A = this chain, B = another copy of it.
């Protein structure tokens, strides 16, 4: 290994800054959409790219693990059994890109503008995943060693709920064993305010397919004669909520564990104005389960959302048909206490109950059910992260929760018995999962420096 002994690791990062940016551009160019089977090879390609990058950074035992679905990538640097071991986690798959026409530049042809790199996956999670790799490279190429044992674990199936991960973890407990997981997939509060996250919602997804007549029929001849599958689907979808925004699926809330008043107070301290959310999404008024603030509805309350519908004629103008088929995709965000399997079953029963006569309904579970995750806010990992964030931003981090889902947190807790801290540098305005996703170049530098500092801090705390 070439050491650049004349400089320290932070100087090394500065010197190689342009190369790191170029690497992110290269990484974003790979259209690794895990939800679409035509991109299966691209997800593998992204995994191979990560493996190569880890090797070049100086890590040992780099290996790609194939699965029935998308692959996992592992690497480590372990020298001293007396030192603690952390496992750094990230993902190299990305969300789908539609609606494509709303992108200002093609999603997989990254461009840099005003200190931002635009492209699908730039922020979620390719930009973040590269920061700890650069930090480790810098330390190994300058100091020649790390202050702590490190394992890297990156996956290609995060955006579809990590279907093969539970089995992989239970089959590789020794390989992945560690004292703490550090997730390089997540957000900070704002470009000048850090946060630690002590909870994520879980998730489950399903598809509903309503079959009416065997094919599309003329609405003049069959309108009024047979059940219209779009009517029947609308009846099901409308039945999912009551007028107060509460999910009307029987049993949906039965096992929800409400946070303590103290925890709710912690959440209420966060400086979020409902008017800001309203302006950001550009609606006249917010809406959701009555009796809870927008912040609570988005973090500690479970939801049922319809993410997509289609059926019948969707082209220009009107086509007079009674359609054969109507479909919907739904996702639930789950909170502490809710068992994804039980919720899936409750929804299946609900759909059956609200199926109108004259149609057949096919209810399909999607892969990747994830439980909600909660972590003590005074956990050693949170203390180490807080200390570093305070140095990086000059401010104490907020203690917050995220309404999104990080499947690996409950999986690592169940499978390895360790908690996961979030240490990543995306921000909510970066169009994660939307057109024109971007990552701030300054977040690359913050992330690289931050990871270097965190390795030292964790070595002290554990």
Contact = CB atoms under 8 A, between A and B. Distances in A.
Contact of A313 (B96, B312, B320): B96
Interface in A209-227: 212-227
A329 interface: yes
A240 B230 contact: no
A331 B235 CA distance: 18
A23 to B, nearest CB: 26
Interface string A354-397: 00111110000010000000000000000000000000000000
Interface stretch (A12-20, A45-53, A429-437): A429-437
Shortest Cβ-Cβ A-B pairs, 9 listed: A220-B404, A287-B358, A35-B317, A234-B237, A238-B238, A308-B312, A224-B303, A214-B282, A213-B281
Given A360-B284, A433-B218, A309 B309 contact: yes
Nearest to A277: B225
A205 interface: yes
A226 B312 contact: no
7 contacts: A36-B315, A219-B333, A220-B403, A224-B305, A224-B333, A237-B238, A308-B311
Contacts of A239: 238
Interface in A428-461: 428, 432-435
Nearest to A247: B224
Contact of A225 (B288, B316, B359, B402): B288
A37 interface: yes
A227 B283 CA distance: 9
B212 A318 contact: no
Nearest to A219: B305
Interface stretch (A1-9, A141-149, A173-181, A294-302): A294-302
A102 to B, nearest CB: 7
A299 to B, nearest CB: 9
A310 interface: yes
A146 to B, nearest CB: 33
A99 interface: yes
Nearest to A326: B309
A314 interface: yes
A199 to B, nearest CB: 12
Given A98-B313, A224-B403, A316-B35, A307 B219 contact: yes
How many copies make up the complex?
2
A231 interface: yes
A282 B357 contact: no
A103 B320 CA distance: 18
A315 B98 contact: yes
A294 to B, nearest CB: 5
B319 A433 contact: yes
Given A220-B404, A333-B220, A313 B317 contact: no
A434 B307 contact: no
Contacts of A216: 99, 433-435
Nearest to A354: B238
A297 to B, nearest CB: 4
A99 B289 CA distance: 39
Contacts of A221: 298, 402-404, 428
Nearest to A295: B225
A195 to B, nearest CB: 14
B303 A307 contact: no
B35 A331 contact: no
Given A226-B287, A294-B225, A281 B217 contact: yes
A264 to B, nearest CB: 16
A112 interface: no
A317 B160 contact: yes
Most chain B CB within a 10 A radius of its CB, from A238, A302, A320: A320
A257 interface: no
B312 A306 contact: yes
Given A225-B297, A234-B237, A215 B358 contact: no
A350 B3 CA distance: 74
Interface in A393-438: 402-405, 428, 432-435
A110 interface: no
Given A223-B298, A283-B358, A230 B35 contact: no
A225 to B, nearest CB: 4
Given A217-B281, A225-B294, A281-B214, A95 B319 contact: yes
